[in-house]
Structure 1
Amino acid sequence: MTDYLAVNRANWDERAPAHATSPDYAVDRFIEDPNFLSQVVQFDLPRLGDVNGLRAVHLQCHIGTDTLSLHRLGARITGLDFSGASLAQARSLAARTGADVDFVESTVYDAPKVLEPGSFDLVYTGVGALGWLPDIRRWAQVVGALLRPGGRLFIREGHPMLWAIDNARGKDLLTVDYPYFERPEPMVWDEPGTYVATDATFTHNVTHEWNHGLGEIVTALFDAGLEITMLVEHDSAPWDALPGSTVRDEHGEWRLADRPWRLPQTYTLQARKRV
């Protein structure tokens, strides 16, 4: 297999500055309004509960908008990402907003080597993270290693059913065309753009990605010493995952224009490490 880390890192490094200046990440709103929270964190506030005072780590934090949002809710948080360019933007955002947030450059799988194992009350992961990892069991073992007994994982992620769907044959026709279950070899994409509004052009356009079935994720967490305490499937996503087939709702989320109950687009999962 080609070095997926090098390929994916080049893609994220190149896109980080464009993401930081795109209105979709709302960096200006964070700077102007000390109470502003990211859309992803805001969506899950009723499920997230009180994080004030918790020692937390945000895995695959990218440019740090969700990380900063959790800090604003009172968490003592560290952001971790493998993209140095993304972390440069995250540190800049923290500095411009006066936020005391640490950022660490590392792959997810190496997180227990660069962070203190068994010391975190909360491990957080946001939308669009797991698909960059080839082995969901290794990810779950990392989560279990970082959490203290009784600590919890909180994640909102794209639903594996969504990642398996293609709507290129027509806006009303959803085709299951990509793997639902984890496969040894990645799906290799060569796409010139990015998922936010930007005028930037890119040269590192190849990515290697994997899907992980919901059962695979739940089983991996259980085997890593965690118990599922919440699993909610949503018919919406915070980005337009199926252009031409979706409409935006009053909360800024995107759902199918035609019979949205056909497809779960995201899910929120919480799990606690067994004591």
Structure 2
Amino acid sequence: MNDDYLAVNRAMWDDRAPVHAGSADYDLRRYRTDPAALSDVVRFDLPRLGDVSGLRAVHLQCHIGTDTLSLHRLGADVVGLDLSPASLAHARELAAQTGADVAYVEGDVYDAVDLLGATSYDLVYTGVGAIIWLPDIDRWARVVAELLAPGGRLFLREGHPMLMAYDVVDGRPELAYPYFHQPAPLAFTSTETYVETETSLQALPSLEWTHGIGEVATALLDHGMTVTGLAEHDSVPWVALPGLMEPHPDHPGEHRMADHPERMAASYTLQAVKP
């Protein structure tokens, strides 16, 4: 596939970045006023993430940097990578305002090794809502393996492909999209975003790909990684199915199905180690 999808998605993220940075959902003010504040996404996975102090880390597809800053506050020496210059402008501003020594690099995930260096990292971190923007998960897995030093670890949390296959139709959940990867992207044009906002947004297109859990794990195994953990969760950190989800009672920022949440796998955490 050519790189047209990058231009399409970059334009969408550049347009949404200031809206996200100004939203109550991201609440950047709390990072400025509370030096111990962590993102809800990182806090959710602390029991699985463990001690990252002193680790050389790269956060792929870092967006406006709240998870990146959180890893820094947990003691990691972290660099963030993203394709959106507008998103990185907000990430750099937040780092400067909080006195955080976090480096940010603009670029495509598939160019990460050239941009950041091979075998340089103890931790590759990827947060929720990232790999759906990538057309080739095998190529991504190769990049992850090449970024990691021997003994280094991948930490991935992502929206569950089960959840991502559903949409809301007439107030009910309905299977609408593929679980398994398809070469052709899912194309959307929307004036909405995943944060609450009164800002009028442009109707911009975006291109996405689904990746089943088996596909992701197999790609990592094919590139010499050892899968060391896989946890599935009934919640995800945005209202993925509007009108059908409610805040999780135990995890701030997380949302799950209001009716029988045990029926829906909403996100997963996968860990793998480079031997």
TM-score, normalised by the number of residues in structure 2: 0.97
Would you say the 8 A contact 1:151–1:272 is kept in 2?
A: yes
Q: Structure 1: which 4+ aligned runs deviate by more than 4 Å?
A: none
Give the Cα–Cα distance (whole angstroms) in 2 for the partners of residues 204 and 259 of structure 1: 34
Distance 2:236 2:63 in 1: 18
User: How many angstroms does 1:105 deviate by?
Assistant: 0.4
Deviation at 1:170, TM superposition (A): 2.6
Structure 2 gap ranges (5+) = none
Q: Does 1:160 align with 2:132?
A: no
How big is each residue's C-alpha offset from its partner over 1:220-272, in whole Å with a ceiling of 9 and x where there is no partner? 00011111111000011111111111111222321111111111000011100
CA distance in 1 between counterparts of 2:228 and 2:104 reads 28
In 2, Cα distance between equivalents of 1:178 and 1:204 = 21
What SS does the corresponding residue of 2:132 show, helix, strand or coil? helix
1:59-116 Cα offsets, whole Å, 9 max, x none, are 0000000000000000000000000000000000000000000000010000011111
Look up the equivalent residue of 2:202 and give its one-letter code.
T
For 1:90, the equivalent position in structure 2 comes to 91
How big is the shift at 1:203?
2.1
Partner of 1:175: 174
Which residue of the partner structure matches residue 226 of structure 2?
227
Amino acid in structure 2 at the alignment position of 1:20: A
Residue in 2 aligned with 1:150?
Answer: 151
| Gap runs ≥5 in structure 1 | none
Whether 1:16 aligns to 2:5 is no
What displacement does 1:197 show? 1.4
1:136·1:220 contact (CA, 8 Å) conserved in 2?
Answer: yes
C-alpha distance in structure 2 between counterparts of 1:15 and 1:257, whole Å? 28
Query: SS of the counterpart of 1:181?
Result: coil
Distance (Å, rounded) in 2 between the aligned partners of 1:28 and 1:21: 9
Give CA-to-partner distance per residue, 1:9-67, whole Å, 9 cap, x none: 00000111111110101100000000000000000001100000000000000000000
- The number of aligned residues is 272
CA distance in 1, matches of 2:118, 2:110: 13
Q: Which AA in structure 2 matches 1:244?
A: G
- For residues 103-146 of structure 1, give each alpha carbon's deviation from its aligned partner in whole angstroms, at most 9, with x where no partner exists: 00010000011111001000000000000000110110100010
Q: TM-score, normalising length from structure 1?
A: 0.97
* Mapped partners of 1:175, 1:77: distance in 2: 40
2:190 corresponds in structure 1 to 191
User: Which residue number corresponds to residue 60 of structure 2?
Assistant: 59
Q: How does 1:1-275 map to 2 (within 5 A)?
A: 3-171=4-172, 174-203=173-202, 205-250=204-249, 251-252=251-252, 253-274=254-275
| CA contact 1:155–1:270 (8 Å) conserved in 2 | yes
8 Å CA contact retained: 1:11, 1:204: no
Which secondary structure state, in structure 1, belongs to the residue aligned with residue 259 of structure 2?
coil
